[in-house]
Structure 1
């Protein structure tokens, strides 16, 4: 059961892109402080956030890095009947110059507007290094999990190359993915990320993660999956271990 729950919790973190970050209040000791933050997952599958140095939650993290982030399914009519996951973590500021550059290249694809305020204002990247997860998949489906994060084998140059190639040369295929998945067609979609289990598309301000039918561990497998999807007449059922 834990393998299935790990996969479901990870899928939820991939599908969503904003959460409630709870930190230990500096100005009100003993009280938790909640704030909304956008995020994407980094090369190790950990939440990556970009926050202002003057923000209250940043001051709180500098004082005590222990925090949690709650992520729930968007647009849920009954929030108690759908999935949600709490990531308990130690927040770590990204300081290494190469790591900052890699984080920026990745994060900007997901949130392109962030590039302007990151450079113009005092914002820093932080990683939420998971300690444990609490996943609730609906009524009665409650789990403590430790192995949700999954490293992205394509992070860096390989992912960037695949994303740029698809956006530059295969716009029709991307439009077909949108059609198959029933995503909004308000604006042309762009591919922003690829991991072993799926891909992220951006439509306007919204982000959508679409799962591959099977895990892909090499660029060749990703290419085959994307070609198959470009010719599919429905989105395939995901094959994954249930135990």
Structure 2
């Protein structure tokens, strides 16, 4: 299931290398490191300034790629995924703000200025390398997340978990990642899993199967809590 593996790998990452076509240098590739989050269809969203070189490049030619990879000492053996697509400023600049700020709370100051905007990459091609010999071009249709209702329900789910189920969040961290904590906070949930911040560390938890709404998310979270107590 390389399509799901690629999507899950991308969800684990918070930063990648954004490559644009340079306006100043006559189309040469221009790489820059950028934070990103995924929306609920698994499309990368970045927050960038109109003054940045890559933003000027995107305005001239929207074709981009975003490379993200797991960290390890053997960079060539790392799993990695490259999203190739078209990047454009989002019409709705508020829809992803809360989600983005949960993942990157330090970005709040950017909204005090008037030149930072959300841009979304619409994937056209996906390249996934799971390791030596595991190389795939993935159809965009199979990479995209299944239709789900979590975009409208995410805020409420997170508020409920962080208010009423702190003990479960801490148990997930201990059981699945071996991390002891009293300050776990859920920051995001999607069809493939969820993320918890522990101090300055962010932990990713995968669901066994995709969840499509708050009810199926609840069932998956309860099953994981029961696994922690087993």
**TM-score, normalised via structure 1 length:** 0.87
1:10 — aligned with what?
7
Matches within 5 A, 1:1-243: 4-74=1-71, 76-95=72-91, 99-146=92-139, 147-151=142-146, 153-182=148-177, 184-185=179-180, 188-233=183-228
Contact 1:24 1:61 (C-alpha < 8 Å) held by counterparts: yes
**Matches of 1:154 and 1:185, distance apart in 2:** 32
Note the aligned Cα RMSD (angstroms). Answer: 1.9
Say how many residue pairs are matched: 228
**Matches of 2:132 and 2:23, distance apart in 1:** 35
**What is the CA distance between 1:30 and its match in structure 2?**
3.0
1:241 — aligned with what?
none
**Matches of 1:34 and 1:129, distance apart in 2:** 18
1:240 — aligned with what?
none
Note the alpha carbon deviations across 1:27-79, whole angstroms, 9 max, x for none. 111311110111111122100110111011111101110010100102x1111
Q: For 1:30, what is the secondary structure of its paired residue? A: coil
Q: Structure 1 stretches of 5 or more lacking a match?
A: 236-243
- Tell me which of the two structures has the higher relative contact order, counting C-alpha pairs closer than 8 angstroms and 6 or more residues apart: 1
**What is the CA distance between 1:183 and its match in structure 2?**
5.7
Contact 2:173 2:181 (C-alpha < 8 Å) held by counterparts: no
Q: For 1:45, what is the secondary structure of its paired residue? A: coil
**What is the CA distance between 1:106 and its match in structure 2?**
1.8
Note the alpha carbon deviations across 1:164-213, whole angstroms, 9 max, x for none. 10001111110111111226557722111111221111223443321012
Specify whether residues 167 and 120 from structure 1 end up closer, same or farther in structure 2 by C-alpha distance, changes over 3 A only: same
Note the alpha carbon deviations across 1:77-117, whole angstroms, 9 max, x for none. 1111121011101001012xxx2211112211111111221
**Matches of 1:229 and 1:16, distance apart in 2:** 22
